Amino acid sequence: MTPTNKNAPNLPANKSLLLLLVLVSVAFGWVLLPFYGTIMWATIIGLLFRPVYRWLLARLAGRPSVAALLTVLLVLVIVILPLALITASLAREAAGVYQGLKSGALNPVLYLHGVFDALPGWITALLARFGLNDFATLQNRLTAALTQGSQFMATQALGIGQDTFEFVASLFITLYLSFFLIRDGDSIARTVRQAMPLPPRHTQELLGKFTTVILATVKGNLLVAAIQGALGGLAFWFLGVSAALLWAVLMAFLSLLPAVGAGLVWVPVAAYFLITGAIWQGIALIAYCVLVIGLVDNLLRPILVGKDAGMPDYLVMIATLGGMAVFGINGFVIGPVIAAMFIAVWHIYGVSRRGN
């Protein structure tokens, strides 16, 4: 008598259920796609401020909703409001620069003329090979570039005004989601662990890697960017560079790019100082940025990002650059997370193959 498999009749049903699961998951992901950045930052806030929530919960006699609400208010006070103040100051400074360019009070052509006259002969000869030895040609090209830049700035300013409601709505959704992720984080994580079709140890490894990489990337990159931006802005202010806050924020933003980010701002400024005869300012800026700002990037970033994430520095850099190229500013988090998940999944696959 041939034994029968009790689970055999359920195979078609299981395949149908699996197909339905894939379809509804893809459809749900498609619906949530416009809010992927909002959901990502709500998740990051929930992970970062989870220890604060637990500390408050222990002192509020087990009232989770109150503890989660206080945690969200703390996020609003120590994160959102300072960023809003910096953004407002930055907008005023950028508007001043734009009005100066529009009115002619700031004339980059004059600065370029001074730089062009101060160039050494070998640089002039090099420019001549590319047909750039005539200042009139440079002026025409610079004027065209400034015209396009002014149009871009005007378009962006209009877009910011039109997108104010969208920004406020996204911020509200982020904080709203953060409240529930902070309060119900343990139950959500438990549900995810139970639903994943992997052995418990592999599920725990993937979730642990996901959490570790997000925390390391956000804390490391944002901390390094903030420190480099603040140090660079302080140096520019001390040396009398106009719009120091604007350059500081730009340096902080570009510092998200490992190794080369901050240099994209301070190197041209130092070169301008040297070419125009401000020798000590140029040398001081170069020494300060190489020894201080460069030390922050070379010392803190590998410690805060690469070490905790368990990935080599070159992989962190490539994943960050690739993530930002694909996903924009959110890519500095998404890129390393995808790289870490790639490594973790292949590690689990290799362990499983060896086990078989």
* pLDDT band at residue 130 using 50, 70 and 90 as cut-offs: low
Q: What is the pLDDT of residues 232-269, one digit of tens each?
A: 888 888 888 777 777 888 788 777 766 667 777 788 78
pLDDT attached to residue 332: 78
Residue 40 has pLDDT above 80, yes or no: yes
SS3 243: coil
- Of 7-16, 35-44, 232-241, the poorest mean pLDDT is in 7-16
Helices (H), 164-311: 164-183, 185-195, 200-238, 244-254, 263-275, 279-288, 294-295, 301, 308-309
- Of 48-57, 139-148, 157-166, 237-246, the poorest mean pLDDT is in 157-166
Residue 272 or residue 63, greater confidence: 63
Q: What is the mean pLDDT of residues 69-88?
A: 83
Whole-number average pLDDT of the chain? 74
Q: What is the mean pLDDT of residues 12-25?
A: 77
Cβ 45 vs Cβ 180: under 8 Å: no
Residue 74 has pLDDT above 80, yes or no: yes
pLDDT attached to residue 10: 54
Percent of the chain with pLDDT over 70: 67
Measuring CA to CA, how many Å separate 221 from each of 61, 146, 236, 256, 308? 36, 32, 22, 6, 12
Residue 318 has pLDDT above 60, yes or no: yes
Q: What is the mean pLDDT of residues 68-90?
A: 82
pLDDT attached to residue 7: 47
pLDDT attached to residue 9: 47
* pLDDT band at residue 8 using 50, 70 and 90 as cut-offs: very low
Most confident of 49-53, 128-132, 325-329: 49-53
Residue 169 or residue 231, greater confidence: 231
Residue 303 has pLDDT above 50, yes or no: yes
pLDDT attached to residue 73: 92
Residue 299 or residue 207, greater confidence: 207
Query: What is the Cβ-side half-sphere exposure of residue 197, based on CA atoms within 13 angstroms?
Result: 3
The domain limits of the chain are: 35-195, 202-351
Residue 136 has pLDDT above 70, yes or no: no
Q: What is the mean pLDDT of residues 184-200?
A: 78
Q: What is the pLDDT of residues 83-128, one digit of tens each?
A: 777 776 666 666 666 666 666 655 555 566 666 665 666 666 666 6
In DSSP notation, 36-82 reads HHHHHHHHHHHHHTHHHHHHHHHHTTT-HHHHHHHHHHHHIIIIIHH
pLDDT attached to residue 1: 46
Q: What is the pLDDT of residues 263-298, one digit of tens each?
A: 777 887 887 777 777 788 888 888 888 888 877 776
Q: What is the mean pLDDT of residues 309-313?
A: 66
| pTM for the model | 0.67
Residue 158 has pLDDT above 60, yes or no: no
Q: What are phi and psi of 258, to 5 degrees?
A: -60, 150
